[in-house]
């Protein structure tokens, strides 16, 4: 299992078990994730000066499927669910792996008993690029031998590209994926969301546009069956006819091919069942539109969170009526939904999945509810299993029999993944080692701002105003990093009107529309700007050629408007040799939640072998009373303030001879500052200018392992102190220090750069 994790370094999976009310936060995933993190207890404070230690522990192996103990009923079908996600990614339009999970079900009890990973790497890969609301359809072939779903030949972790669409089938007999049906992207005009098959030899597929296609198994071309575009959601074969749902405004509802049949070519008509006599199929704002059949009934479910039951007047009729008994509509709590129906011993059970994007917010996962045909009412819903943080459940199929074993209740699926450094050199237990300390506090300390904007991009103030404002509150140097162009360079007129050092810079904006994988470069004479992630490496090289440095800006996964940011696939990418990352950005909501948590991303990069720095910044745009002086770095230099130059500042930055400090609001106390960070033999000693909680963070106890393995995010803690020390061993690999000043209105922080453990004598 360890070898598999190393071989798939770019793939992550984890779970954060939580439970919050999604109705409050569903519209803003960003805040949902931040609030979810609040459910974890804060690090426990101890009495002043009392060190808290935690024993070192090896990384646990990845847990396997739930185990069972005794035989279950052979009459009860097993339940298959398509899971999307990598344990991290929160939003759409980036490659994420897919997996099939099998559950045993019995009333309100469920237990996961098997799992199969769909190929996510190599030429056979079939990954998703969207949440289950847009993708994730799962269908059983009409002969009962295959599960069918769709995906793309898309690399995990990369933004959506123009790559082939894949229709995958999974043999229920030999448990093998077949992804040989690959359709060129230009033939699809969008992306497939679902497909259905009679016997695995051909598929009818629907998607975001392009109508209905028929594709023979293994073929790379399509036959147009229905040339009516826009927002198809799902497709099925029932009563020897193709049925499909749509969600475009004005056309939401359930349709069938007319004349009835399962054509493989040519254009057929269609009948909207609402127009044929039913009511309620077009749900207005709802209608992602999964549906299932039993007897002469249809169950329809949409993203309006309502499940409705319809029945046909008679077996020969096309008139379907919504059952108007009490509580005929069952309101679900999540976003996108998929369902299937089990009728057993006169009881009709609806099993459905729901969630919001690919982020678990408590009510996502697997649910069931019973339908009473006599009273035409739903019972109480049962939350059977959570999808887990960074995952979403998509399509659902009931088929076969329950695997042997008593089903067990499952709160979620925990599959931690810890990135490894492939080039790491092990230090023998009895071998010589030393600490590579970048710090020298013997000179002067200078406060520096590395991320600010002016009215030459999206700020409100002129460059000279920004410089004078920072000078007035004690800064020695300021970088102006306007978006995608150099507002000022040494070759142009200096902003003027100030006595502090000016650092020319730029903030490279997102590589795609509505993406926020931004990067700041400081100390540069020119820019290299072209769209595309591949050019981030070129931009980093350009910054270094100019004598500057480049840091990843605000490294969350996505903001409240779902704009794509930095995810952990990217921060560990060996091709991106950036100098460091913002561990704090005063212009953005700060939290300690995967996907938003900046320290989490920092530690993921360190675990992968990157030797990076951490900076704190304002990202100033406007409203100086509330946003100036919320994040900065303090450099150490042999040069005092009167003689300080941009070259002196850049020398300290490149050497890592600085620390970061910040607070989330200007009414929080001023951040603490380190007054010394030194090494005595194998002991790391730190001193601060005020009483703090001082945490030593290492390879086994950090903000990444906190969320992956439920560990404290420190290996050693001292509270209420202005000095602390930690005895380092080779197993630490690296150590960074965080100092927290507690105040009545909130906390403020200082962060050191990582100090790496090297083999041999210093």
Q: Check residue 752 and report its DSSP letter.
A: P
Token pair belonging to 315: 């077996």
Q: Check residue 503 and report its DSSP letter.
A: E
Angle at 293 between CA 289 and CA 294, to 5 degrees: 150
Considering Cα of 455, then 456, then 457, then 462, what sign does the dihedral take? negative
Pairing of strands 580-585, 613-617: parallel
- Cβ of 189: how many Cβ atoms within 10 Å? 13
Pairing of strands 109-117, 98-106: antiparallel
The H or E element that residue 756 is part of is strand 755-759
Contacts of residue 243, Cβ cutoff 8 Å, sequence gap at least 6: 235, 236, 237, 254, 255, 256, 257, 291
Token pair belonging to 551: 């840091």
Token pair belonging to 24: 């409050």
**Stronger pLDDT, 348 or 307, i.e. the higher one:** 348
Tell whether the model's pLDDT for residue 697 goes beyond 90. yes
pLDDT at 336: 55
Length in residues, the chain: 762
- Cβ of 54: how many Cβ atoms within 10 Å? 13
Q: What is the pLDDT of residues 225-256, one digit of tens each?
A: 887 666 778 898 887 888 888 776 666 777 88
Alpha-carbon distance of 471 to 762, in angstroms, equals 40
Token pair belonging to 640: 């005092």
DSSP string for residues in 221-270: --EEEE---S-EEEEEEETTEEEEEE-STTT-EEEEEESSS--SSS--EE
Q: What is the pLDDT of residues 100-142, one digit of tens each?
A: 988 877 655 677 778 889 999 888 999 887 654 557 889 999 8
Q: What is the pLDDT of residues 368-387, one digit of tens each?
A: 888 887 888 888 888 788 77
Token pair 């100019």 is found at 546
In contact, 535 and 506? CB cutoff 8 Å: no
Pairing of strands 202-207, 192-196: antiparallel
Number of H helices, E strands in the chain: 10, 43
DSSP string for residues in 153-189: S--TTSBP-S--EEEEEEETTT--EEEEEEE-GGGTS
In the structure, what pLDDT confidence band is assigned to residue 303 with cuts at 50, 70 and 90?
low
The half-sphere exposure of 719 on its side-chain side, counting CA atoms within 13 A, is 11
Q: What is the pLDDT of residues 316-327, one digit of tens each?
A: 666 666 665 544
What is the pLDDT of the chain when averaged over all its residues?
Answer: 76
Token pair belonging to 438: 């970048």
Token pair belonging to 256: 């069938």
Alpha-carbon distance of 338 to 516, in angstroms, equals 31
Q: Which of 553, 599, 568, 550 is nearest to 697 (CA)?
A: 599
Q: Check residue 198 and report its DSSP letter.
A: S
Alpha-carbon distance of 156 to 708, in angstroms, equals 20
Alpha-carbon distance of 508 to 485, in angstroms, equals 8
Tell whether the model's pLDDT for residue 586 goes beyond 90. no
Torsions phi, psi for 407 (to 5 deg): -60, 145
**Stronger pLDDT, 515 or 562, i.e. the higher one:** 515
Alpha-carbon distance of 256 to 526, in angstroms, equals 59
Contacts of residue 750, Cβ cutoff 8 Å, sequence gap at least 6: 659, 660, 661, 671, 672, 673, 674, 688, 692, 738, 739
Lowest-confidence segment of 6-20, 423-437, 611-625 by average pLDDT: 6-20
Contacts of residue 57, Cβ cutoff 8 Å, sequence gap at least 6: 700, 711
The structure's pTM equals 0.58
Torsions phi, psi for 400 (to 5 deg): 75, -150
The half-sphere exposure of 201 on its side-chain side, counting CA atoms within 13 A, is 4
Distance of CA 510 to the CA centre of its chain: 17
Q: What is the pLDDT of residues 174-213, one digit of tens each?
A: 899 999 999 998 888 777 889 999 999 999 998 877 788 9
Alpha-carbon distance of 445 to 677, in angstroms, equals 13
**Stronger pLDDT, 358 or 313, i.e. the higher one:** 313
Which burial class, exposed, middle or buried, applies to 427 when counting CB atoms under 10 A from its CB (0-12, 13-18, 19+)? middle
Torsions phi, psi for 479 (to 5 deg): -100, 130
pLDDT at 496: 59
pLDDT at 107: 56
Alpha-carbon distance of 393 to 339, in angstroms, equals 11
In contact, 298 and 292? CB cutoff 8 Å: yes
Considering Cα of 2, then 3, then 4, then 7, what sign does the dihedral take? positive
**Stronger pLDDT, 11 or 293, i.e. the higher one:** 293
Tell whether the model's pLDDT for residue 582 goes beyond 90. yes
Considering Cα of 265, then 268, then 272, then 273, what sign does the dihedral take? negative
- Residue 367's beta-bridge partner residues? 352, 383
Considering Cα of 83, then 401, then 380, then 66, what sign does the dihedral take? negative
Contacts of residue 548, Cβ cutoff 8 Å, sequence gap at least 6: 505, 521, 522, 523, 524, 650
Alpha-carbon distance of 634 to 617, in angstroms, equals 11
In contact, 657 and 439? CB cutoff 8 Å: yes
In contact, 409 and 712? CB cutoff 8 Å: no
Tell whether the model's pLDDT for residue 362 goes beyond 50. no
Lowest-confidence segment of 60-64, 478-482, 559-563 by average pLDDT: 60-64
Tell whether the model's pLDDT for residue 568 goes beyond 90. no
Token pair belonging to 762: 């210093």
The half-sphere exposure of 675 on its side-chain side, counting CA atoms within 13 A, is 10
In contact, 282 and 274? CB cutoff 8 Å: yes
Query: Which of helix, strand or coil describes residue 322?
Result: strand
Q: What is the pLDDT of residues 331-352, one digit of tens each?
A: 555 555 788 888 776 778 888 8
DSSP string for residues in 266-320: S--EEEETTTTT--S-S-TT----EEEEETTEEEEE-TTSEEEEEEESSTT---E
User: Over the Cα atoms of the chain, what is R_g?
Assistant: 29
Q: Which of 95, 131, 138 is nearest to 116 (CA)?
A: 138
């Amino acid at each position: 299992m360890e070898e598999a994790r190393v071989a798939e370094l770019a793939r992550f999976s984890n779970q954060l078990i939580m439970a919050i009310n999604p109705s409050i936060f569903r519209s803003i995933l960003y805040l949902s994730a931040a609030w979810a993190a609040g459910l974890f207890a804060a690090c426990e404070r101890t009495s002043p000066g009392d060190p808290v230690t935690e024993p070192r522990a090896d990384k646990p192996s990845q847990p396997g499927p739930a185990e069972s103990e005794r035989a279950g009923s052979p009459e009860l079908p097993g339940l298959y669910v398509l899971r999307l996600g990598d344990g991290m990614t929160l939003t759409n339009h980036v490659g994420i792996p897919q997996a099939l999970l099998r559950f045993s079900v019995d009333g309100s009890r469920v237990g996961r008993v098997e799992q199969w990973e769909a190929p996510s790497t190599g030429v056979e890969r079939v990954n998703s690029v969207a949440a289950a609301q847009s993708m994730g359809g799962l269908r059983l072939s009409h002969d009962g031998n295959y599960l069918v779903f769709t995906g793309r030949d898309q690399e995990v972790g990369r933004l959506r590209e123009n790559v082939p669409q894949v229709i995958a089938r999974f043999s229920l007999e030999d448990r093998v994926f077949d992804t040989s049906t690959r359709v060129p992207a230009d033939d699809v005009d969008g992306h497939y969301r679902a497909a259905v098959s009679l016997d695995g030899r051909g598929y009818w597929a629907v998607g975001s546009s392009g109508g209905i296609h028929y594709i023979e198994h293994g073929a790379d071309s399509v036959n147009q069956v229905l040339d009516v575009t826009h927002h198809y959601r799902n497709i099925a074969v029932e009563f020897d006819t193709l049925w499909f749902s749509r969600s475009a405004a004005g056309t939401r509802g359930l349709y069938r091919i007319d004349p009835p049949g399962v054509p493989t070519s040519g254009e057929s008509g269609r009948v909207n069942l609402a127009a044929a006599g039913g009511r309620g199929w077009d749900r207005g704002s709802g209608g992602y539109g999964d549906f299932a059949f039993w007897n002469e009934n249809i169950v329809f479910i949409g993203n309006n969170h309502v499940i409705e039951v319809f029945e046909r007047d008679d077996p020969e009729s096309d008139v379907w009526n919504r059952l108007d008994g009490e509580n005929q509509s069952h309101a679900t709590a999540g976003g996108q939904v998929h369902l299937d129906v089990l009728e057993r011993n006169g009881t009709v059970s609806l099993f459905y999945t729901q969630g919001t994007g690919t982020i678990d917010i408590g009510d996502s996962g697997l649910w069931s509810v019973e339908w009473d045909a006599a009273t035409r009412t739903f019972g109480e819903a049962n939350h059977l299993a959570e999808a887990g943080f960074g995952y979403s459940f998509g399509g659902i199929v009931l088929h076969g029999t329950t695997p042997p074993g008593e089903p067990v209740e499952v709160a979620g699926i925990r599959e931690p993944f810890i990135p490894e450094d492939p080039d790491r050199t092990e230090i023998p237990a009895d071998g010589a080692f030393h600490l590579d300390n970048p710090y020298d506090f013997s000179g002067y300390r200078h406060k520096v701002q590395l991320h600010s904007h002016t009215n030459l991009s999206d700020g409100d103030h002129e460059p000279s105003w920004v410089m004078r404002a920072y000078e007035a509150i004690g800064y020695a140097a300021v970088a102006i990093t306007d978006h995608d162009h150099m507002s000022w360079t040494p070759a142009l007129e200096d902003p003027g009107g100030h006595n502090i050092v000016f650092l020319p810079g730029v903030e490279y904006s997102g590589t795609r529309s509505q993406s926020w994988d931004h990067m700041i470069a400081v100390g540069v004479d020119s820019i290299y700007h072209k769209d595309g992630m591949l050019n981030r490496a070129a931009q980093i090289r350009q910054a270094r050629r100019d004598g500057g440095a480049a840091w990843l800006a605000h490294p969350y996964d996505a903001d409240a408007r779902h704009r794509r940011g930095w995810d952990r696939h990217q921060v560990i990418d060996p091709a991106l040799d950036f100098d460091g990352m913002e561990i704090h950005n005063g212009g953005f909501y700060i939290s300690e939640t995967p996907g938003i948590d900046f320290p989490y991303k920092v530690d993921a990069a360190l675990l992968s072998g990157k030797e990076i720095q951490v900076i704190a910044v304002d990202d100033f745009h406007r409203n100086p009373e509330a946003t100036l002086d919320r994040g900065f770095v303090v450099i150490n230099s042999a040069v005092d303030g009167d003689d300080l130059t941009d070259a002196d500042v850049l020398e300290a930055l490149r050497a890592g001879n600085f620390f970061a400090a910040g607070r989330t609001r200007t009414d929080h106390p001023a951040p603490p500052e380190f007054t010394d960070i030194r090494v005595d033999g194998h002991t790391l000693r730190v001193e601060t200018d005020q009483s703090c909680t001082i945490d030593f963070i290492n390879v086994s106890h950090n903000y990444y392992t906190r969320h992956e393995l439920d560990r404290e995010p420190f290996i050693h803690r001292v509270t209420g102190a202005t000095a602390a020390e930690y005895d380092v061993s080779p197993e630490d690999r690296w150590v960074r220090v965080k100092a927290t000043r507690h105040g009545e209105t909130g906390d403020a922080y200082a962060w050191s750069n990582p100090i790496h453990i090297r083999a041999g004598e210093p």
